[in-house]
Amino acid sequence: MQNLNTLDVQGKRVLVRVDYNVPVKDGVVQDTTRVTASLPTIRALQAAGARNIVLMSHFGRPKNGPEEKYSLAPVAPVLQEALGQPVTFLPGLPDSDGTLEAVQALPEGAVALLENVRFSAGEEKNDAGLSGRFARLGDAFVLDAFGSAHRAHSSVSGVAAELPHAAGTLLQTEVDALSRLLENPERPYVVIIGGAKVSDKLKVIENLLPKVDRMLIGGGMAYTFIKAQGGKIGNSIHEDDQLGLAERLLTEYGDKLMLPTDVVAADRFAEDAQTQIVAADAIPDGWEGLDAGPETRRAYADALRGAKTVFWNGPLGVFEFAAFAGGTNAIAEAVANLEGAYTVIGGGDSVSAINQSGQGDRVSHISTGGGASLELLEGQKLPGVEAMR
């Protein structure tokens, strides 16, 4: 990819696509991670002599034009505090003539944040006319929104066709980090895949299984595999339409796949449910598995010991409930304790899990990408990444 070192920004206005799709409650940003993640690119552009930096992002899923609850206005003061300088918020439609005039009037050195790009008709359809109107706002374009890089949208790949462009620091870091999982990873290479559904992670599982030494399956998806083996799973979540696929994967890669041997079963889906430790393939009728059991936790920790490359996506249980967070926390600790290993955490729930466990600063890379991370690891080409080549 073309990076910031290849882009001449001296004295130029630079349009930067960031990912400020952050959680907001009652008009207050609840998690500033994505805002602070954009700072290295902003500061690099300032150091390279950019005249102005104009930031653009989506926020939420507005249906028909502007909606106050999806305004990026709450993000501006957060960015201003993090950056340590004034940030001008421009509340009009990002592609309007009024916004263009406001951008052109910015004093040298100013940083501006546009309103939600999804307020402009045609953004998610990659409308060429909209891409052209966005391009009027800058002399050069930088894509730093890895979390949106899998979208062929006007503000992601469309505007890149209109202006000199490069990947920002965050995008470059994400692509480099995840590519290491696909291209000659150091061995032993262990992947942990959790979450509720096999169907959600199917392409990642199929693309990574030939490359890994072990794959540890956890979370709700494990019960589809266990049922495919003839196990009794009680009321545990599973996908009957994926049983054939699970059987095929077990036949082809049974020597690599590890499944839970015991689980924490509950009599209902609630934090205060009655629980018991049972064999993963002998869950009583009326009970459901909500977490990995102690034997499974030890076995998975043993499987991780000595690994040199690790990727983890998805929790091993219903970690939102403290009573069923033990398996996920055990994996977080096991991954964090690895010495000399390259460890990557990807996906929203596993990122939350590693941070909740207090182990986030002990892994090599935490991906901000969610869907983009998974699509890259599925072997797909991401429109935003391809536009930066």
Q: Please give the positions annotated as active site.
A: 34, 197, 348, 371
Annotated binding-site ranges for ATP: 201, 289, 320, 347-350
* 8 A C-beta contact, residue 189 and residue 309: yes
In degrees and rounded to multiples of 5, residue 118 shows phi and psi of -80, -5
Tokens of 9: 């920004």
Q: Measured between alpha carbons, how far is 124 from 121 in angstroms, rounded to an integer?
A: 8
Q: What is the DSSP letter of 3?
A: B
Nearest to 171 by CA among 194, 148, 187: 148
Contacts of 196 (CB under 8 A, 6+ apart): 219, 220, 221, 237
Annotated binding-site ranges for substrate: 19-21, 34, 58-61, 118, 151
Residue 339, classified by CB atoms within 10 Å of its CB into exposed (0-12), middle (13-18) or buried (19+), is exposed
Annotated binding-site ranges: 19-21, 34, 58-61, 118, 151, 201, 289, 320, 347-350
Q: How many CB atoms lie within 10 A of CB 282?
A: 14
Residue 280, classified by CB atoms within 10 Å of its CB into exposed (0-12), middle (13-18) or buried (19+), is buried
Query: Half-sphere exposure of residue 183, counting CA atoms within 13 Å on the CB side?
Result: 7
Q: Measured between alpha carbons, how far is 133 from 159 in angstroms, rounded to an integer?
A: 9
Helix (H) or strand (E) holding 306: none
